[in-house]
């Protein structure tokens, strides 16, 4: 710590003390959050149920172990969580990058598209889920159009595989606009001279993509992938409001599993253990995210 | 690509073709992005049998306002709408009240362990909501805060507070240091500096507040656990239309559209203000 030069009057309210006063309400809020949080961590090592709160017994981390033990419902939820996050991040990063490149085309009309393409961002995830459910019902407009061009109708939420990909589709619809926005900002940060020089040198689009766009966009790609990674790991809204984790657990990730165990069965021990592991995953990614931000700030 | 023809014209012709391809690809993606919104808007103006008609009706139906009329008379929709308004505005106000000084201290003051404080605030945004909300639910049972506005407003800080602090930190950091030095030379206290900086970042505050408003408005998991019969919010209400054996499609569509409106209005407001701010900056600069 650096020492603060002593004024002759030596005021009590030094700048650091004032600064602490400024963040104090926020810190109190943090403490308010920390208490339930620590409580949750404690419960995750116990068989706490809300029906018998007095009979709390610690079970040596059996709930935590269950998350990593193949065959348990917890492990199935962990698998769904990871599969969902990887699918969403891969699809949305690629799609968002591609659309941003298209929007970067030097023409006036791209401005109109920029506004239109962002629209889904304004729709609450719950409303988006309703919209897609309405379109994807058995006798819905999507199946009608598919049949009109010669495909069979699809049972979108009926089979485990299709339900999973339907949720990925909804998530992609909701969150790709965010990816597009960040990617556009990234593309605009690339100096025009570099792109122009590559044109003069006669580089094709693929060469430009591999040599200029992807390397120069790397910080933005990492940022977006981490952001979307965290949010899709803890995806809850679109799943609980459409499939509630079914059919046969195909869309039941850790977050949904924890809600079901906690609120429906009052098994707070198992619920909190699943959330604890989920939190560790999210926390790891958010540390990575913030260190990239700090690295950029240091540059 | 024979070298004999005019090279400039070839380039132009190929560029135009590429432009057309880009346009087509963007149009396709835009269709994907807008189709669900367009479909629910259409649906909200349809009568019951037009909604479930097969083949689906795209334009050949008589539009009606019945769905909006009945939703706006429905207590199951109006009360949640009012609740959401109270909880959301309350949360944003509380967040600004505790978030602005915190953001200023992080951005501009000699704060001990600055980055740790900042990280602990932002880490709220990245935690799975239920990890805090489920224990909060148990705590609220003893404090009797479940199913109250106050309980919800406290819980909504998980959504609003990190957002406000994070955004406002950047806005405060953008204010030229010279201005603050001038205030200090004039004998201004830190409180004066904070007030001046805050007045200078009104656009930023507006932007952060609107974003916090939208995120709180859209929030689902928090009220699902902590709200009760009297404090039901809009996201739960529009999903409620799906719960019954026969889904009230028309009312659900109309309700969904009404639920999106505040976000749309606020965003339009924000975009307008941002454009104003930028043009003002350009004139002055």
Domain ranges (residues) in chain B: 7-34, 68-284
Name residue, tokens 């619920």. A271
What are the C-alpha distances in Å from B28 to residues A142, A190, B34, B70? 15, 27, 10, 35
CB pairs under 8 A between A and B: 226
Of A71, A269, A106, A244, the C-alpha closest to A167 is A244
| Contact yes or no for B61/B50 (Cβ under 8 A) | yes
Residue of B12, B23, B128, B146 best to disrupt the A interface, most CBs of A under 10 A: B128
Mean pLDDT on B268-276 = 66
Burial of residue B43 (number of CB atoms within 10 Å: 0-12, 13-18, 19+): buried
**Do residues A164 and A251 lie in contact, with contact meaning Cβ atoms separated by under 8 Å?**
yes
Query: pLDDT (tens digit, 9 = 90+) per residue, B38-65?
Result: 999 998 998 878 887 778 888 888 888 8
Establish if A185 belongs to a structural domain: yes
Q: Which residues of A touch B215 (CB under 8 A)?
A: none
The shortest C-alpha distance from B163 to chain A (Å) reads 13
What is the pLDDT at residue A88? 95
Residue A79 pLDDT exceeds 70: yes
Give the model's pLDDT for residue B202: 85
> Minimal Cα–Cα distance from A230 to chain B, Å?
7
Cβ-defined contact of B134 to A289 (cutoff 8 Å): no
Q: Which residues of B are less than 8 Å from A43 in CB distance? A: 135
pLDDT for residue A100 = 92
> What is the model's pLDDT at position A10?
62
In terms of Cα–Cα distance, which of A221, A164, A161, A157 is closest to A189? A221
A175-187: average pLDDT: 89
Domain count, chain A: 1
CATH number, domain with residue A215: 1.10.3720.10
Domain of A272, in residue numbers:
57-116+177-298
The closest alpha carbon to B102, from B58, B152, B165, belongs to: B165
More confident residue, B284 or A163: A163
Check pLDDT > 50 for residue B72: yes
DSSP B45: T
The chain-wide mean pLDDT, for chain A, equals: 85
Q: What is the Cα–Cα distance from A154 to B122, expressed in whole angstroms? A: 42
pTM of the entire structure?
0.85
In the predicted model, is pLDDT for residue B192 greater than 80? yes
Which of A44, A99, A127, A175 is the best residue to mutate to test the B interface, defined by the most B CB atoms within 10 Å of its own CB? A127
Q: Does B143 touch chain A (CB under 8 A)?
A: no
Residue A186 lies in a domain: yes
The CATH T-level fold of domain B68-284 is: MetI-like fold (1.10.3720)
pLDDT given at position A236: 94
Highest mean pLDDT (candidates A109-113, A167-171, A295-299): A167-171
- Taking CA–CA distances from B127, the nearest residue in chain A reads A279
The answer to the question of residue A226 being in a domain is yes
Q: Does A283 touch chain B (CB under 8 A)?
A: yes
CA–CA min distance B276, chain A (Å): 18
Residue A259 has pLDDT above 90, yes or no: yes
CA–CA min distance B255, chain A (Å): 9
pLDDT in tens, B113-154: 888 888 888 888 888 999 989 988 888 888 888 889 999 999
Domain contains A263: yes
A122 reaches B (C-beta below 8 A): yes
Asked if pLDDT for residue B74 goes beyond 90, the answer is no
| Measured distance CA(B97)–CA(B191) in Å, rounded | 14
Interface of A with B in 178-207 (CB under 8 A): none
In a domain, A105, yes or no: yes
Residue B215's closest CA among A123, A276, A140, A255?
Answer: A123
Of all residues in chain B, what percent carry a pLDDT higher than 70? Answer: 90
Minimum-distance CB partner of A37 among B40, B121, B135: B135
């Amino acid at each position: 710590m650096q020492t603060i030069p002593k004024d002759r009057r030596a005021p009590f309210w030094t700048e650091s003390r004032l600064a602490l006063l400024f963040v104090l309400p926020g810190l109190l809020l943090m403490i308010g959050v920390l208490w339930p949080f620590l409580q949750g961590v404690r419960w995750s090592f116990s068989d706490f149920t809300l029906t018998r709160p007095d009979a709390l017994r610690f079970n040596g981390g059996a709930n935590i172990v269950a998350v990593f033990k193949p065959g348990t419902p917890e492990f199935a939820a962990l698998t769904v969580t990871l599969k969902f996050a990887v699918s969403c991040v891969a699809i949305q990063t690629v799609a968002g990058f591609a659309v941003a490149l298209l929007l970067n085309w030097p023409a006036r009309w791209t401005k109109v598209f920029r506004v239109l393409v962002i629209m889904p961002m304004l729709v609450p995830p719950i409303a988006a889920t309703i919209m897609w459910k309405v379109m994807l019902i058995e006798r819905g407009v999507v199946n009608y159009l598919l049949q009109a061009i010669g495909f069979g109708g699809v049972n979108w939420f009926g089979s485990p595989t299709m339900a999973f990909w339907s949720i990925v589709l909804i998530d992609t619809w909701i969150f790709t606009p965010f990816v597009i926005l960040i990617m556009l900002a990234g593309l605009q940060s690339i100096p025009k001279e570099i792109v122009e020089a590559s044109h003069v040198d006669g580089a094709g689009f693929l060469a430009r993509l591999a040599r200029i766009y992807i390397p120069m966009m790397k910080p933005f790609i990492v940022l977006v992938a981490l952001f979307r990674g965290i949010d899709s790991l803890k995806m809850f809204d679109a799943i609980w409001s459409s499939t509630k984790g079914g059919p046969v657990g195909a869309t039941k990730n850790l977050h949904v599993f924890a809600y079901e165990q906690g609120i429906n069965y009052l098994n707070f021990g198992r619920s909190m253990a699943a959330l604890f592991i989920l939190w560790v995953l999210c926390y790891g990614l958010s540390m990575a995210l913030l260190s990239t931000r700090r690295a950029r700030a240091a540059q | 690509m024979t070298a004999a023809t005019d090279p400039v014209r070839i380039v132009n012709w190929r560029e135009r073709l590429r432009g057309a391809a880009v346009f087509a690809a963007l149009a396709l993606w835009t269709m994907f992005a807008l189709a669900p919104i367009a479909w629910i808007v259409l649906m909200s103006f349809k009568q019951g049998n037009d909604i479930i008609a097969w083949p689906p009706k795209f334009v050949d139906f008589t539009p009606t306002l019945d769905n909006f009329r009945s939703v706006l008379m429905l207590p199951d929709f109006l009360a949640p709408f009012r609740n959401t308004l109270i909880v959301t505005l309350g949360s944003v106000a509380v967040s600004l009240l505790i978030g602005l000084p915190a953001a200023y201290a992080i951005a501009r003051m000699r704060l001990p362990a600055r980055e740790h404080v900042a990280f602990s605030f932002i880490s709220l945004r990245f935690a799975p909501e239920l990890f805090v909300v489920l224990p909060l639910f148990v705590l609220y049972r003893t404090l009797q805060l479940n199913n109250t506005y106050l309980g919800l407003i406290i819980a909504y800080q998980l959504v609003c507070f990190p957002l406000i602090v994070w955004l406002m930190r950047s806005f405060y950091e953008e204010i030229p240091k010279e201005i603050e030095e001038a205030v200090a030379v004039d004998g201004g206290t830190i409180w004066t500096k904070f007030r001046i900086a805050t007045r200078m970042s009104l656009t930023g505050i507006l932007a952060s507040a609107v974003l916090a408003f939208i995120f709180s408005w859209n929030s689902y998991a928090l009220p699902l656990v902590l709200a009760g019969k009297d404090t039901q919010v809009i996201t739960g209400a529009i999903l409620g239309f799906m719960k019954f054996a026969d889904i009230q499609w028309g009312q659900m569509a109309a309700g969904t559209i009404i639920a999106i409106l505040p976000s749309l209005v606020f965003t339009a407001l924000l975009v307008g203000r941002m454009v104003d701010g930028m043009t003002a900056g350009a004139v002055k600069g």
